Structure 1
Amino acid sequence: MRTALEHLRLVLADDHPVVRSGFRMLLEGVGATIVAEADSGEAALAAYAEQRPDVLVMDVRMPGIGGLGALERLLTHHPAARVLVLSAHDDTQIPARALKVGATGYLSKRAHPQELVRAISQVARGRRYLDPELAPKIALAHFNGSEDPADALTNREFAVFLQVAAGSSVQEIASTHRLSSSTIGTHLYHIKQKLNASNAAELALIAVRAGFI
């Protein structure tokens, strides 16, 4: 695990210096390079714009516009940014909102250090990550009463749904099914319409609730 994050450039955003120091020691110990630190939402935006890291690791509660505000503003200007949002709280509203805004991943600060390394590794690859302890709670809180996806989707749509929920990109899914990206995009549009979901993160939550992932 000493080189688990080798060659990755990270920005750490947290308003507690001791927390940032601990994260730095852990992540540099497994090969990552910390290119900048930030103690507010605004500072995180500036650090990202200057450094263009592979992953921004950001606490949700910070001074200024905070993590959620910074996330929304960041993705407006840098839609491809990969952001792992952290929180010390176990409520479902904040992670659900962060994922809806467009965070690539969400992890509780109470998670094991190895889980942080795994989360960053997944997010750096563009794969969505949701804290395994929070996933069932979030899914149940925000998608109660929804139908089983298997009943709403065609076989092809269901296969695409599972791949999207697992973090695969449209290009990867198209290659798997030997279809064009535009065709997969059409399937994805219909899937979102049928399941009343606005993005891949919400599809992942539905899949968690249904027990598919």
Structure 2
Amino acid sequence: MNYAHTDPRLDELTLVLADDHAIVRLGFRLLLEGVGARVLAEADSGEAAQRLVAELKPDVLVMDLSMPGCGGLSALERILARQPDARVLIASAHTDPLTAERTLKAGAAGYLCKRSSPDELLRAVALVAAGQRYLDPDIAAQLHRADRPEHPAEALTDKEFHVFLQLAQGRSVAEVADTFHLSPNTVGTHLYRIKQKLGIQNMAELAMAAVRAGVIEV
């Protein structure tokens, strides 16, 4: 992947912000509107983000991964299924290369860690709006390390990883089935394969595997 390092302007860019923390949305809004961008609307769930993007067609959607309902990854897939040209920048607390890689593979135009500086947020939004790809520099450095340890979760398929992420966040099989519009039996099959690939026996071990992989925080 080629990630550019220029700094296009943000004047008059239109955005939708999706994060379940109001204070995060406010901080993003103040930063972005302070340099001339326009925030059209805010969402606090993946479902709301999907609806607003379809209605408003912003230049960029800035979205968190961990939100109530379907969450950011599922919302990303559904948005791109309807609008393949939608530009989505994921701004997440997850700092692990595994989640970033999966998110970019799912079609996000960029991935930014929330611990980044305000200037880095502006730069990421500008690049994504200009049709370029963006990856947080700290994660890019980790990905390029030849000695980066491989985690068993890298063997999961995309659907298995999405289910793994939801279950690791404490959602039940029934809730995950509802989120992905699958039958509980299908989610149970995914869970069985996840356990086999990760060498785990129960949900407590699944949660610990997610912590070790860096996809959830403690």
TM-score tier, shorter chain, comes to 0.5 to 0.7
The match for 2:32 among 27, 32, 35 is 27
Counterpart of 1:72 in structure 2 is 77
Residue 143 of structure 1 and its aligned partner are, at CA, apart by 9.1
Counterpart of 1:42 in structure 2 is 47
> How is 1:97-116 mapped onto 2 (pairs within 5 angstroms)?
97-116=102-121
> Aligned pair 1:91/2:96, yes or no?
yes
**SS state at 2:102 partner:** helix
76 and 117 in structure 1: CA distance in 2 versus 1, 3 angstrom threshold? same
Residue 136 of structure 1 and its aligned partner are, at CA, apart by 2.2
137 and 52 in structure 1: CA distance in 2 versus 1, 3 angstrom threshold? same
99 and 114 in structure 1: CA distance in 2 versus 1, 3 angstrom threshold? same
Distance 1:104 1:51 in 2: 19
RMSD between aligned residues: 2.1
Distance 2:146 2:52 in 1: 34
Q: How many residues of Structure 1 are paired with residues of Structure 2 in the alignment?
A: 143
The match for 2:131 among 115, 118, 126 is 126
Counterpart of 2:154 in structure 1 is none
Distance 1:20 1:44 in 2: 13
Q: Which is bigger in relative contact order (C-alpha 8 A, separation at least 6)?
A: 2
Residue 125 of structure 1 and its aligned partner are, at CA, apart by 0.7
> How is 1:1-213 mapped onto 2 (pairs within 5 angstroms)?
4-140=9-145
Q: TM-score, normalised by structure 2?
A: 0.62
- Whether the aligned pair in 2 keeps the contact of 1:86 and 1:109 (CA below 8 Å) is yes
Distance 2:29 2:9 in 1: 14
4+ aligned runs moved over 2 Å, structure 1: 138-145
Distance 1:80 1:139 in 2: 28
Distance 1:53 1:138 in 2: 30
1:117-169 CA distance string (max 9 Å, x none): 00000000110000011112134489989xxxxxxxxxxxxxxxxxxxxxxxx
Q: TM-score, normalised by structure 1?
A: 0.64
Distance 2:10 2:79 in 1: 23
1:62-118 CA distance string (max 9 Å, x none): 111100110011111110000000111211221111100010000000101000000
Counterpart of 2:211 in structure 1 is none
Distance 1:125 1:46 in 2: 23
- Whether the aligned pair in 2 keeps the contact of 1:4 and 1:117 (CA below 8 Å) is no
Residue ranges of structure 2 left out of the alignment (5+ in a row): 1-7, 151-218
Residue 5 of structure 1 and its aligned partner are, at CA, apart by 1.2
**SS state at 1:70 partner:** helix
- Whether the aligned pair in 1 keeps the contact of 2:142 and 2:148 (CA below 8 Å) is no
Residue 4 of structure 1 and its aligned partner are, at CA, apart by 3.8
75 and 139 in structure 1: CA distance in 2 versus 1, 3 angstrom threshold? farther
